[in-house]
Amino acid sequence: MEEKLLPVSQPTAGEFDRRAFFTKLGLGSLAVAAAGTAGFAYQFLSPNVLYEPSPIVNMGKPGDYDVDSVTMNTNAGVYLMHTSEGFFALSEICTHLGCLTAWNQELGIIKCPCHGSQFNRDGAVVEGPAPRPLPWLKTWVSDEGDLMVDRSIQIDPMQFLRI
């Protein structure tokens, strides 16, 4: 007895294809799972709590700083400048690749030891590969009369703190 094979239905254009549908469904769910894994990995790798030093530093009494003085606080990574126009704080971290710059009193210039960038007292780039001037940092006087600097907040240059 001859077996009769059922005719294989060929999907015509526009017709619903079950196999293609399940392939797409499978690949789609894998893509969603991969995106979820990537998001999970990114969140896991970004610490939510950091035990880094506080960005706010206490620089002491304003009276301790003479007029026309540059004070280098290497631990905080901040310069405190006292000019006739007032106080301002400058980041000590080079805008090129993050080295700690140093004030040169004789030349009246800020120099970076790593790649030779030079800045003037206002933070403007004088020479070298630094792409941006040294940022001015938010400075204020606390209720106790101490000079405070927030290293995480940059302000526009030439905003002197007058006391």
Partner 1 sequence: MPGKTDEFLKKIEHTRVWRSIFRSGGGSSTLHNALAIQQSVFLHLFSTKVRKRVISFRATWYLGALTLGTFFILVVTGVLLMLYYHPSVPQAYADMKDLQFVVSSGVFLRNLHRWSAQAMVFLIFAHMFKVFYRGAYRTPREFNWVIGIVLLLVTLLLSYTGYLLPWDQLAYWAITVGSNISADVPLVGNKIHFLLLGGHQVDANALLRFYVLHCLILPFVALLLVAVHFWRIRKDGGLYVQQSEPAKASTIAETELVKEIQ
For partner 1, the closer CB: 97 or 126:
97
Q: Half-sphere exposure (CA, 13 Å, Cβ side) for 47?
A: 4
The reply to whether 54 sits near partner 1 by the rule CB under 8 A is no
One of 6, 45, 107, 158 touching partner 1 (CB under 8 A): 45
Spatial separation of the C-alpha atoms in residues 19 and 27, rounded to whole Å? 12
One of 9, 46, 48, 105 touching partner 1 (CB under 8 A): 46
Q: Which of residues 114-133 bind partner 1 (CB under 8 A)?
A: 114
Select from 142, 120, 121, 124 the least CA-distant residue to 133: 124
Phi-psi category of 32—alpha, beta or left, where left has phi over 0 and alpha has psi -120 to 50? alpha
Interacting stretch for partner 1, rule CB under 8 A, among 2-10, 11-19, 39-47, 133-141?
Answer: 39-47
Spatial separation of the C-alpha atoms in residues 70 and 23, rounded to whole Å? 69
Interacting stretch for partner 1, rule CB under 8 A, among 6-14, 42-50, 82-90, 116-124?
Answer: 42-50
